[in-house]
Structure 1
Amino acid sequence: MQVNNAAVSFNEVDTNSVGHAETVLRTNFYGAKMLTEALLPLFRRAPETSRILNISSQLGLLNKLKDPSLRRMLLDEASLTERDIEGMASRFLAEVGDGTWRGRGWPEVWPDYAVSKLALNAYSRLLASRLTGHGVSVNCFCPGFTRTDMTRGIGKRTAEEAGRVAAGLALLHPRDLPTGKFFKWRTPQLYSKL
């Protein structure tokens, strides 16, 4: 079992800076992706269903992305590749670097964090599809606005409450274990509808 919970944001609750965009994407998307890829051979050899639960955010849902070409790309499950997802992340970082990211259809709230979670959600969906029938379940979980250091202690739920729900999802009985789902709190959402 793998639960990817490492995430950073350098924004205050009411700010939208992209000053640390590279660090945010490196930690929130690439870090989870690299760890997952390193562990996949072990998961495939496990005697029972392996589980990957990526702690994500509804800020990274497709409805936050206004660029129609990027939305089409991410919705095209038959053609979507890891290279496409990484290309989207690179494009965002390039536009942040040259100062042209505003008005290009990127998420408007915590843009760097949202893009990192958008990439993580897309990668999770792609990985779940790739591993169907191989004994590995891949899902995402959004704990909502949780009182943590990242939110400066503001939020609707405690970290303990969110942790209990995440553990419950990660420990579902194999017969009840979905794959390719995005859970907003306890409710599974369809990626393509969001």
Structure 2
Amino acid sequence: MGQKRRSASSRRWLSEHESDQYVQRARTEGWRSRAVFKLEELDQRDRLLRPGQRIVDLGAAPGGWTQYCVKRCGSKSTVIGIDLLPIDPLPGSVLIQSDFESDEGLSALETALNGQRVDLVLSDMAPNISGIASADQARATGLVELALDFCDRQLVSGGDFVAKAFQGEGFDAWLAQVRERFKKVSVRKPAASRARSREVYVVARNFRLG
């Protein structure tokens, strides 16, 4: 029974995915994922991306956000994407296959940055779903906490941070930490975010270094 239920659920998800307007647009326009339209909306609203920026994209696979940054910011920018999963090459970017949560992953990022701080940190990371709500929420909160720690280590004074987070236990406490570090913090729900999802995007501007 459990197998049949999962199979039916998988079929429903696949059908919904294939008919999704953002999936279809991504394929037509040559983007690597539908998630690019979330970043595009945030960028258009908040004017996040500019030529010449140093940008780190945490949890970058399959590379849609990195691809968007390269296209928007041009060849004088430094765009670095990191993910545990492999990412097909993207001209104009530096791609690192490593676990961002590990010392090795952080070391690889710092090496790629060559001592320079970052203008914009992006995080579209999400945990692997176990189906146990409390465990999944704790894991999601852990990821955004790590992303915020990375900002403390690598973001320039006045820099910006965009992170996907999931509303639930731990979210308000983490958001309070973000507000302590940035002068302006907004919580957004892009049109491409599925309505039933608890995901939101936190846009934090003007980092207070130290």
Fold shared by both chains (TM-score > 0.5): no
Whose RCO is larger (CA < 8 A, sep 6+)? 1
TM-score (norm 1): 0.30
When Rg is computed on C-alpha atoms for both structures, the one with the higher figure is 2
TM-score (norm 2): 0.28
Larger strand proportion, structure 1 or 2? 2
